[in-house]
């Protein structure tokens, strides 16, 4: 951080959006990034950080509100860290996301001439599109009142909801969430009412005491509904009565699970999740592939857009019956299982071992015998020995996490030199960074943005790379 006193920048015009969904303006020849602003806003900005080439800050006063603004539809807007772009119309959000992809390839990828970028594919639903949400119990719900004093802590009430934006230790109570179909709201509210009525202690996020911790609600396009209730102690006299009540109240639930998590953090991947009633799996289906999803299984949270994303990636790969395909960061084999019918063989690699177990299970359920799934770290797995054992792929599909691919993986791809690479990314910035390395041998033929998360700044992007002859 540069030296000198942090000051207020006055009358800053927000010109565009930048990575992370923040507004961007200019002062004295430097870029300034401003939270919770929209292009067209004119604001005074309190600097929070300043560097040689840019500054960061937050709004202290609005002089002019952007004409792009619309009224947010959710009561929890600004407190919640979820739907941070609901103050602009959905068509405007899509244009912003298209721009973010272009900016990433121009600024990070160093493309002086951008490749062909198709128009972003918007979601058919901009509300109630998610198939999974996790809610957190707290004995001390956040009070959204700047005049509230900490010494009045006793005035806080138990809550069940989401973490406050940028405040993980605080949880606010949700009245209505617009992300998941309505039954999700009904289950959440009923579970909270039951816990209060029966004096079940809500969890204290700071002291790490209490009983009720989390509830995870998942649904599928085929009508399956999975509920996972997470508690902090093994108290059968409390747990069985509560689970029985939920089962009886909501016959729509097809899989009812519970988990005892006595750790300090909320993750349950290292804990047993136990089936109380119903089916072991819920089913999701794309084309003729049925995915059996357990309580720990990962699947894209916007099903309709997941279908489009996978279809687009496989179409761009343009597979033939003789192709050997590597599917890196395969997850539970979502893309690999769809691609298997169009090629000779698919080798999927994924770091998370339970995901690979899911992939193998789903391959068996769907009678697919031309997929090999391997658990391991890509940097350690993707070696000369790997290629000698499994053959040298002529097509690679890769869908890494937000951090992108390790540089060594990119360099090994250059060594492998497949004819095509289809790079699916949830972060165009790291995607553009990786493709800058791959550009040594590859031409980017096409970019296809896809909006998986309406009302947020997140955007998926598919890049088709072809080996230069």
Q: Which residues are catalytic?
A: 426
For residues 360 and 374, what is the distance between their CA atoms, to the nearest angstrom? Answer: 9
What is the distance in angstroms between the CA of the first residue and the CA of the last residue of the chain? 46
Token readout for 454 is 């309406």
Angle between helices 182-197 and 236-249 (to 10 degrees): 140
Token readout for 273 is 């999740």
> Per this entry, what is the length of the chain?
469
Q: Give the Cα separation of 305 and 300 in Å (integer).
A: 8
CA distance 294 to 277: 14
Report d(CA 433, CA 105) in Å as an integer. Answer: 8
Rg for the chain, CA atoms, rounded: 24
Gap between the Cα atoms of 419 and 433, Å rounded: 20
Give the whole-angstrom CA distance, residue 65 versus residue 417: 51
C-beta of residue 53 within 8 angstroms of C-beta of residue 31: yes
Give the helix/strand (H/E) hosting 39: none
């Amino acid at each position: 951080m540069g030296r000198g006193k942090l000051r207020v920048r006055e009358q800053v015009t927000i010109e565009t959006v930048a990575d992370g969904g923040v507004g961007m303006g200019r002062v004295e020849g430097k870029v300034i990034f401003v939270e919770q602003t929209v292009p067209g806003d004119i604001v005074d900005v309190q600097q929070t950080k300043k560097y040689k080439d840019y500054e960061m800050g937050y709004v202290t006063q609005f002089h002019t509100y952007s004409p792009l603004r619309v009224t947010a539809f959710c009561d929890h807007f600004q407190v919640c860290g979820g739907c941070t772009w609901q103050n602009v119309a959905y068509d405007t959000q899509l244009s912003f996301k298209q721009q973010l992809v272009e900016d990433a390839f121009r600024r990070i990828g160093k493309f002086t001439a951008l490749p062909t970028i198709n128009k972003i594919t918007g979601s058919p639903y901009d509300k109630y599109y998610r198939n999974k949400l996790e809610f957190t119990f707290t004995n001390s719900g956040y009070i959204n009142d700047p005049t509230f004093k900490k010494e009045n802590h006793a005035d806080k009430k138990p809550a069940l909801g989401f973490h406050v934006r940028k405040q993980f230790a605080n949880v606010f109570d949700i009245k209505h969430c617009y992300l998941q179909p309505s039954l999700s709201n009904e289950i959440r509210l009923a579970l909270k009412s039951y816990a209060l009525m029966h004096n079940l202690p809500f969890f204290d996020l700071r002291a790490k005491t209490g009983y009720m911790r989390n509830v995870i609600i998942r649904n599928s396009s085929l009508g399956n509904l999975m509920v996972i209730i997470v508690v902090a102690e093994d108290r059968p006299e409390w747990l069985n009565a509560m689970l029985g009540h939920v089962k009886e109240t909501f016959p729509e639930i097809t899989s009812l699970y519970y988990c005892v998590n006595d750790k300090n953090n909320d993750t349950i991947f290292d804990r047993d999740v136990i089936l109380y009633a119903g089916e072991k799996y819920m089913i999701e289906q794309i084309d003729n592939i049925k995915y059996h999803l357990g309580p720990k299984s990962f699947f894209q949270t916007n099903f309709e857009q997941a279908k489009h994303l996978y279809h687009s990636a496989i179409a761009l790969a343009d597979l033939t019956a003789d192709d050997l395909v590597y599917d890196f960061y395969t997850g539970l084999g979502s893309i690999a299982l769809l691609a298997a019918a169009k090629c000779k063989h698919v080798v999927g690699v994924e770091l998370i071992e339970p995901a690979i177990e899911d992939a193998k299970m789903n391959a068996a359920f769907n009678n697919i015998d031309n997929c090999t799934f391997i658990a391991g770290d890509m940097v350690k797995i993707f070696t000369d020995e790997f290629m000698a054992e499994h053959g040298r792929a002529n097509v690679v599909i890769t869908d890494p996490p937000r951090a992108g691919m390790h540089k060594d993986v990119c360099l090994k791809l250059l060594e492998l030199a497949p004819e095509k690479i289809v790079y699916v990314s949830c972060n165009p910035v790291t995607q553009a960074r990786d493709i800058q390395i791959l550009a040594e041998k590859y031409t980017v033929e096409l970019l296809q943005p896809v909006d998986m998360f309406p009302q947020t700044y997140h955007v998926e992007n598919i890049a088709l790379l072809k080996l230069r002859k």
